[in-house]
Amino acid sequence: MEKPVKLACRSVWKLYGPDVKNVMTQKSHSERHLELSGEQIRAAGLIGAVRAANVEIREGGIFVIMGLSGSGKSTLVRCLSRLIEPTAGEVLFEGRDLLSMPERELIEVRRRKMGMVFQQFALLPHLTVLQNVAFPLEVQGAGRAEREARAREVIELVGLKGRESYFPRELSGGQQQRVGIARSLAVEPDLWFLDEPFSALDPLIRREMQDEFLRLQSMLHKTIVFITHDFDEAIRLADRIAIMQDGEIIQTATPEELVLNPATDYVAEFTRHIPRAKILTARSVMTPSVMAGGPAPNVCAGEVEASDRIEAIAEKIEAANAPFRVMEAGEAIGSIDRQAVIDVLVGRDPVGREVSG
């Protein structure tokens, strides 16, 4: 049973250049639809920062948009939040068209339902940690006592208790981004945008912040749009990943599907160096059973869940002499043995062919 769609965009375009308006008028505006090839865009002297992007983000999941610099991922997320006006297309937030929303309503939606974390933190330098975190509530007109109480709560949540009266410049990068996270959570948004939140941090801190982020999400269950240029980070955090190249989304899938069925060589290039054990689940490695009921319990060493990652179960399967039963919803759907696990660990793909590279 899939969760309802929180945010969706349909054929969103963002073109930059001198004659954008002309290109627009060639198509009737009501269509909100453009069909242009890369050559046509170049011929018109335009730059297609986002081209025909379709995205569906479901409630409660972490949706990662991944791409290298210049791939249009930051532009896309700004189209989704309407920080940038798309050239064409449709953005639906909870079923309402975000792009035709009048300014008042948009302000209201942003105040109550959206939060955003920025790459360079975007903290106001003249305000203390407490005032920064309370700022979104101040903008809404909340009373001082109320907003400071709420701000203290979220500051504690991100582990900065005791630093309320510090100024941003007195904090380390990691701490500053914690403030940024606390601030975006202060209004309890439904939809949480994170634009490369950890890219400006050094690698050790980045990892710590990723853990922290997963911890928060396990408590809060927000709908998240997470932008990154780091494929490892994407794999680590995502429920679904959209990979962008030259303004186009070239594949949207779960991390596992990306690794197993990369849509293009470009995607395959990213997935090549990712340790498979971290991504593949028992389901994708097992030998599916032909008969209902699967292998008999007495010939197996134990049971694993179909959604378990190989990384987590490798040790016990490798140590046992017999295969394990793979269970889904209480039913055995296949078996997994030592050889299958070893294949994954040494980088052979599940069918047994040597993975190139």
**Would you tell me how many other CB atoms lie within 10 Å of the CB of residue 145?**
8
For 257, 283, 316, 326, 354, the CA distances from 336, given in Å and listed in that order, are 19, 9, 11, 7, 19
115 near another protein, rule: CB under 8 A: yes
201 near another protein, rule: CB under 8 A: no
| Beta carbon nearer to another protein, 189 or 334 | 189
Q: How far is the CB of 172 from another protein (least distance, A)?
A: 15
118 near another protein, rule: CB under 8 A: yes
126 near another protein, rule: CB under 8 A: yes
CB within 8 Å of 250: residues ≥ 6 apart:
243, 244, 263, 264, 266, 267
21 near another protein, rule: CB under 8 A: no
165 near another protein, rule: CB under 8 A: yes
Q: Which stretch binds another protein (CB under 8 A): 131-139, 250-258, 284-292, 326-334?
A: 131-139
Q: How far is the CB of 275 from another protein (least distance, A)?
A: 34
* Residues that contact another protein, how many (by CB under 8 A): 33
Alpha carbon 194 to chain centroid, angstroms: 8
94 near another protein, rule: CB under 8 A: no
Q: How far is the CB of 68 from another protein (least distance, A)?
A: 20
12 near another protein, rule: CB under 8 A: no
**Contact of 76 with 53, CB cutoff 8 Å:** yes
Q: Convert residues 179-198 into a mask of x (bound to another protein by CB under 8 A) and - (unbound).
A: --------x-----x-----
Interacting residue with another protein among 48, 72, 89, 136 (CB under 8 A):
136
| Beta carbon nearer to another protein, 99 or 327 | 99
Cβ-count burial 226-240 (b if 16+ within 10 Å, e if not): bbbbbbbbbbbbbeb
